[in-house]
Amino acid sequence: MSAARVGIVTFPGTLDDQDAARAVHLVGAEAVPLWHADHDLKGVDAVFLPGGFSYGDYLRCGAISRFAPLMDELIPAARAGLPVLGTCNGFQILCEAHLLPGALTRNASLHYVCRDQRLRIEQADTPWTGAFAPGQEITLPIKHGEGRYVASADTLAALESGGQVVVRYLGDNPNGSLNDIAGISNEAGNVVGLMPHPEHAVEELVGAPSTDGVGFFTSILKKLVNT
C-alpha cells in the first residue's frame, strides 16, 4: 500500500494531535504518530506539528519543544524539503526552531481568543494549500493567546515580495499580527506555519461551522500521491 504517510508529532502538552490524525485519516492518508522523545521520523512523507500547550507554553510558546530529540531529526529534514505544517503551537515551534522567520507574541488584546475567523489563501502553491484557489476566502477557527506575528521590517518585506505570506486574516485582525499575517512559509515553500486550525474544520457536525480545513489535508495528499 502506498498511502501517503503524514507524521503527527506529540510533545508533552500537545492537544490537537488526535484531531489532526482524524483529519488526515478522513482524506484517506495514513496518520503516523511521532513521539517527541524519539529520534525517529519513521520515514513519513510529511509532518504535521499540531497545536496545544507543549511544555505548558512555559517560558515562551514552543521554546522548550524546539529542543526535543525529534526536532533534531525534523529540522534537517525540513531544510532538505520535507513538507511540514505547523498550526498554532506548531507554528510557534517552527519559528522558535528558526525554520520560519519572525516570532509569535502575546495577542494585542492580551486575551486568549477562540472564534471563527475569515481568512484569505494568499498562496496556493505550497504543498499544504494546493487544493485552494489563490485568493480563496475561507473560515477556520482560531484559538490562541500568542498569535501576533512579528518580524523585522526587512523580513516582512521579504515575506511579502517572496510570496511567503500564505494566509491572511480578513475583517478584524484578531491578535494585532503585522500585515494581518495568519500564516507563512519558508522560502522553499515546504514549511508552512498557520495560527488557524484546519483540523477543527473538517466535519459538518462538529467543530467550526465550516469544512474549509479539509483543503489543507487534501492538498498534502494530492502533493504526495502525485510525486
Partner 1 sequence: MARVIVDVMLKPEILDPQGQAIARALPRLGFSGVAEVRQGKRFEIELDGPADEAAIADVRKMAETLLANTVIEDYSVRVEG
Partner 2 sequence: MSERHSIAADSVQRAAETPDEQMPFAELGMKQDEYDRVKEILGRRPTGSELAIYSVMWSEHCSYKSSKVHLKQFATKAPKSEALLVGMGENAGVVDIGDGWAATFKIESHNHPSYVEPHQGAATGVGGIVRDIMSMGARPIAVMDSLRFGGADAVDTRRVLPGVVEGISHYGNCLGLPNIGGEVVFDPCYIGNPLVNALCVGLLRKDQIKLATAPGPGNQVVLFGASTGPDGIGGASVLASATFEDESHAKRPAVQVGDPFMEKLLIECCLELYAADVVVGIQDLGAAGVSCATTELAAKGTGGMRVDLNLVPLRDPSLRPEEILMSESQERMMAVVRPADVPAFMAICEKWDVPATVIGEVTDTGRLVMTWDGETIVDIPPGTAADEGPVYERPFHEPAGQAALNIDSPDRLDRPTDLRATLLQLLGSPNLASKEWVTSQYDRYVRSNTVLAQPADAGMLRISERWSSGGESEARANEPRSGRDHEHEAIDGAEPTTRGIALATDGNGRYARLDPYAGAQLALAEAYRNVAVTGAKPLAVTNCLNFGSPEDPEVMWQFAEAVRGLADACKILGVPVTGGNVSFYNQTGTTAIHPTPVVGVLGVIDDVAKRVRTGFVAEGLRVALLGETLEEFGGSEWAHVAHGHLGGLPPVADLEAEQALATVLVEAARRGLLEGSHDLSDGGLAIALAESCLARGVGATVTLGEDPFVELFSESAGRALVAVAPERFEEFAALCGDHEVPCHGLGVTGGTSLVVEGVLEVPVSELRDRHSAALPALFG
The reply to whether 96 sits near partner 1 by the rule CB under 8 A is yes
Q: Name the segment binding partner 2 (CB under 8 A); options: 55-63, 146-154, 178-186, 218-226.
A: 55-63
DSSP secondary structure string, 76-93? Answer: HHHHTT--EEEETHHHHH
Closest CA relative to residue 48, chosen from 27, 28, 34? 34
Q: Residues touching partner 1: how many (CB under 8 A)? A: 24
Rounded distance, CA 101 to CA 130, Å? 22
**Is residue 87 within 8 Å of 194, Cβ to Cβ?**
yes
Of the candidates 73, 96, 122, 199, the residue annotated as catalytic is 199
Q: Record the cell numbers describing residue 206, joined without a space.
A: 462538529
Residue numbers 25-64 binding partner 1 by CB under 8 A: 55-56, 58-60, 63-64
**Is residue 38 within 8 Å of 62, Cβ to Cβ?**
no
- Measured from the Cβ of residue 190, the count of other Cβ atoms closer than 10 Å reads 22
The reply to whether 183 sits near partner 2 by the rule CB under 8 A is no
Q: How far is the CB of 141 from partner 1 (least distance, A)?
A: 23
Rounded distance, CA 146 to CA 162, Å? 25
Instruction: Name the residues annotated as catalytic.
Output: 88, 197, 199
**Which parts of this chain interact with partner 1 (CB under 8 A)?**
55-56, 58-60, 63-64, 67, 95-96, 101-103, 105-110, 148, 150-152, 176
**Which parts of this chain interact with partner 2 (CB under 8 A)?**
5, 8, 10, 12-13, 15-19, 21-26, 30-35, 37-38, 42, 52-53, 55-58, 111-115, 141, 143, 197, 199-200, 202-203, 205-208
